[in-house]
Chain A
């Protein structure tokens, strides 16, 4: 079965960077893209970006352009999200999500358990 397991909670100071990992198993890693979605406390879901696990192409949310980088390591079936220049409003649960679907329809099918990132001085 497909599994998506993320790294643990982090506490960072403003201005620092954080890198969250997302280890997948149970499917052929290059076959599906990975998106990252975050959720600030008590708020809704915010799509951050997407990476093709096959080609490595990326698309980022406009508001995070320049601060976020998505990467993958196909040898370990792991995806990574790095966010730089952290601010207090980056405090959120960060989810890694494996896509489902095909060229006619994409959706977020397998979600990681979430990684809480707290930004505080």
Chain B
């Protein structure tokens, strides 16, 4: 199976900060990388698919980049509602593995 490793596992930031989360695949996955946001008690929500395409309705402060094995999710100006856990997920192989998650907390 393709392993997905996110970093950091958690971070503390303030409203208005620029935040970046990285995701590394154990082998090349082209651009088959999706990002999800999850708040406590809720199902995950798709933010970005195909590495950089913003899902409809997702604020433009979210962006994604990368290809091959290295990917980045960036939040340009952190808002109160963005404090959540973020997961990357590869859809390159039939076993669609997730990263371990990055928790974004309020500083």
Contacts and interface: CB of A to CB of B under 8 A. Distances in A.
Interface residues of B, number: 25
Contacts of A95: 43-44
Interface residues of A, number: 23
A23 B100 CA distance: 28
A92 B101 CA distance: 17
A112 B42 CA distance: 10
A113 B43 contact: yes
Interface in A72-121: 95, 100-101, 104-109, 111-114
A55 to B, nearest CB: 14
Nearest to B85: A44
Interface of A: 35, 37, 44-47, 50, 59, 61-62, 95, 100-101, 104-109, 111-114
Closest 5 CB pairs of A and B: A111-B43, A107-B49, A105-B50, A59-B94, A44-B101
Interface of B: 1, 31-32, 34, 36, 38, 43-46, 49-50, 53, 55, 87, 89, 91, 94-101
Given A105-B50, A113-B43, 17 more contacts: A37-B98, A45-B87, A45-B98, A47-B96, A47-B98, A61-B95, A100-B49, A106-B32, A106-B91, A106-B96, A107-B34, A108-B36, A108-B44, A109-B46, A111-B45, A112-B43, A114-B43
